[in-house]
Amino acid sequence: MRLEGKVAVITGAGSVGPGWGNGRAAAVLFAREGAKVFAVDLKPDALTETVRMIEDEGGTVRTHTCDVTDSAAVAAMVEACVAEFGRVDVLVNNVGGSRPGGPVELGEQDWRAQLDYNLTSVFLTCKHVVPVMKAQGGGAIVNTASTSGTRYTGSPQVGYASSKAGVIQLSKVLAVQHAPDGIRANTVVPGQLHTPMVEVRLAGQRAGGDVDALLAQRQARIPLGFMGDGRDTAYAALFLASDEARFVTGTEIVVDGGMTARCD
């Protein structure tokens, strides 16, 4: 029980479809490891299966609907968690999504939306959670970025890549600034995983709706020869959130099957 007695706020804890997205996997795993989970999502229905899975295993979970790009809504979410559980020991930021297009193709409104969705959301949750952690003597923040924020991974998506790169640097700045407060901040950097997002969104963007073709294309880039899923991201987040990582802050764990280590 690596998170016994801890309270974990997990954003994007629902899922767009069946399977293991990063948020759902983190919520279920953290509850399994003893955390009281405050599961946050924009769509209440997306949390239904997450809650069922946690409760079936005897875990503790409460849900909250929140637009994490809205500062007032995020402040209210954090207040609700503190009112329910008394503290916030762990914050895991899992909200994110991509839009295709380079600087020419991507519309200016879509560019701003990508920054808000992928980066401002992390900024706002940290803005409102850090004072709580500071007052209670510390905590752990785990932000989810993407290998798109460190490499060109095969598709022009400049808004997503730029915002995910920003998440990595935001974590570093936060880690150094608030180390004296006992707050650690790190980033998980997933590669091309097989999450529900592949079927629901990415196949339509990149493979004309052909899921099998997209899966084959993505898998071909991975030296290990198979794709992970949200559970692999969740296990990395679990380590960073736990006391086992007490001397780990301001860094990243890449979860990509070796993809970004390749030369081609």
Catalytic residue list contains 160: yes
Our measurement of the distance from residue 93's CA atom to the centroid of its chain's CA atoms, rounded to an integer in Å, reads 4
Catalytically annotated residue among 117, 152, 160, 235: 160
Question: Which helix (H) or strand (E) covers residue 92, if one does?
Answer: strand 90-93
Element (H, E) at 39: strand 36-41
Alpha-carbon gap, residue 197 to 94, rounded angstroms: 13
How far is the C-alpha of 41 from the C-alpha of 63, rounded, in Å? 8
CA proximity to 92, closest of 131, 57, 129: 129
d(CA 202, CA 233): 19
Contact yes or no for 88/54 (Cβ under 8 A): no
Which residue is it, tokens 């899921």? 211
HSE (CB half, 13 Å, CA atoms) of 144? 30
Hunting for tokens 């949390």 — which residue is that? Answer: 47
- Coil/strand/helix, residue 197: helix
Q: Which of 113, 116, 175, 112 is nearest to 143 (CA)?
A: 175
Active site positions, annotated: 160
